[in-house]
Structures are given as C-alpha cells and as structure tokens.
C-alpha cells in the first residue's frame, strides 16, 4: 500500500495546497477524523476547526470554517468554504468569523422562533468557532 496520498485543499477563492500527505486530520461534522492512505471512500461535511496535514516535510495546519471533504483510498480533497493557513489567522480575522457566527445565531433566533433546529445549528457553529479559537490559542 502506498504510504502517501494526494491531498488538495481548495477554497472558492484559491487553491491552498496540493501535496502528497501521509495523514490528514479533518474536523468533520460528526467528530474529528483522520484520513490516511487506503481510507474507506467517504464524503463528509466539516465544522469550523483546525485541519492538519502531515507530509514528509512536516505538519501544516489550516483553519477552515466549513465545507466538505471527499476521501478516497488514494486522494483526499477538502473543499472549504473559507480556509486560511494557521499563521495567517489574526485575532481580528477570528473575531470577524465569530461575529459572523453570532450574527447568524441572532438571525436564526429571529427567523425561526418556534423551530429549534436552525437555531441549534447556528449556535453549534458559533461554539465550534469559539472552540477553534481556543484551540489555536487566539481567543480570550
């Protein structure tokens, strides 16, 4: 079995990386997962979190805010809604993302007064966003 696989991370605005990776840790919607060569073919949605790519040169980290990932045995593609290399994430950028998530919670609250679903979804997005901030050590 090959010990690396093709990994692509793309956002609508640009292609961030395209490398041979031995392992990719993905913040999937239902819990983090690691994709390694030979992984069962899977499509999953993402929650806000940190994506780690292990390559021969070392580990790269990216902050993603959502999107989805397509995993096959020999390739993994992550199509993120918004993705930034971890070094480029400034406290201001994070604050902006959190503010956006907060706005969505409020919007959902006013739009769907009697339906808990969308409100919960938005609230989860917000807490994921804050947790991500803590994980990369930028939050208060």
Residues forming the site for another protein (CB under 8 A): 8, 10-15, 28-30, 40-45, 67-68, 70, 77, 79, 81-82
Of residues 83 and 126, the one with the C-beta less far from another protein: 83
Smallest gap, in angstroms, from Cβ of residue 116 to another protein? 17
Of residues 79 and 93, the one with the C-beta less far from another protein: 79
Smallest gap, in angstroms, from Cβ of residue 23 to another protein? 18
Q: Is 67 left (phi over 0), alpha (psi -120 to 50) or beta?
A: left
With H, G, I as helix, E, B as strand and everything else as coil, classify residue 99. helix
Pairing relationship of beta strands 5-10 and 75-80 according to DSSP bridges: parallel
Cα dihedral sign, 60-133-34-121 = negative
Asked whether 85 and 64 are in contact (CB, 8 A), the reply is no
Smallest gap, in angstroms, from Cβ of residue 137 to another protein? 26
Of residues 46 and 50, the one with the C-beta less far from another protein: 46
């Amino acid at each position: 079995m090959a010990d690396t696989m093709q990994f692509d991370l793309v956002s609508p605005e640009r292609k961030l990386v395209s490398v041979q990776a031995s392992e990719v840790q993905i913040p999937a919607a239902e819990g983090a997962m690691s994709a390694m060569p030979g992984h069962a073919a899977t499509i999953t949605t993402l929650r806000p979190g940190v994506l780690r790519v292990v390559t021969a040169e070392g580990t790269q980290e990216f902050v993603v805010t959502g999107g989805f990932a397509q995993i096959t045995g020999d390739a993994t593609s992550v199509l993120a809604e918004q993705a930034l290399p971890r070094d480029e994430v400034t406290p201001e950028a994070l604050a902006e993302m959190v503010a956006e998530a907060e706005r969505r919670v409020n919007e959902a609250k006013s739009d769907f007064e009697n339906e808990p679903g969308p409100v919960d979804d938005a609230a989860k997005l917000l807490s994921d966003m804050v947790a991500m901030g803590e994980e990369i050590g930028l939050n208060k």
